[in-house]
Amino acid sequence: MAITEKDAAIAYAKAWNRFDCSEFLKLLDDNAHYASQWVFEELESKAAISDYLIGKMKTVKKTGSKVYAELGNTRSGFAGRDCVFLAQEKKEEVQAVVLFEVENNKISRYDLCIPQLLNVERTGVYPI
């Protein structure tokens, strides 16, 4: 079965809602890229992304902070794309939108974006 952007979004949302990224990382291409509008350098391999994401989740979990990862869709700019909304402590205060690219049945790239740049539709679905 081919993986879709929606599958990638669901896996990523589950990862944050569980603080366990193991299943999401299995979907990454070895040469996957990750970029964030809050970080200057792009991560350029599955290994680098794995180290970063595992460490990030451990740090956030240690603080006792609650993360909410909700499925959504873009309505402009990148219209019609499945995405994930990330919020911390308060579900209604979305801090980031995550978009995915899939090639050859693997996640080739994902980007963490400032939510104000995209016209997005929230679904109220928080996969666990």
Q: Examine the pLDDT at 117 and tell me if it is beyond 90.
A: no
Residues 19-50: pLDDT tens digits? Answer: 999 999 999 999 999 999 888 899 999 999 99
Residues 54-113: pLDDT tens digits? Answer: 999 999 999 999 999 999 998 776 778 999 999 999 999 999 999 999 999 999 999 999
Q: Which residues of 76-88 are buried (b: 16+ CB within 10 A; e: fewer)?
A: eebeebbbbbbbb
Band of residue 115 on the pLDDT scale cut at 50, 70, 90: confident
pTM equals: 0.94
CA angle 50–112–65, rounded 5-degree value: 75
Q: What is the pLDDT of residue 9?
A: 98
CA angle 102–38–50, rounded 5-degree value: 50
Q: Examine the pLDDT at 114 and tell me if it is beyond 90.
A: no
| CA distance linking residue 78 with residue 74, whole number of Å | 6
Q: How many CA atoms lie within 13 A of 37 on its CB side?
A: 11
Q: What is the pLDDT of residue 40?
A: 84
Q: What is the pLDDT of residue 46?
A: 98
Q: What is the pLDDT of residue 39?
A: 82
101 CA to centre of own chain:
11
Q: What type of residue is 52?
A: Y
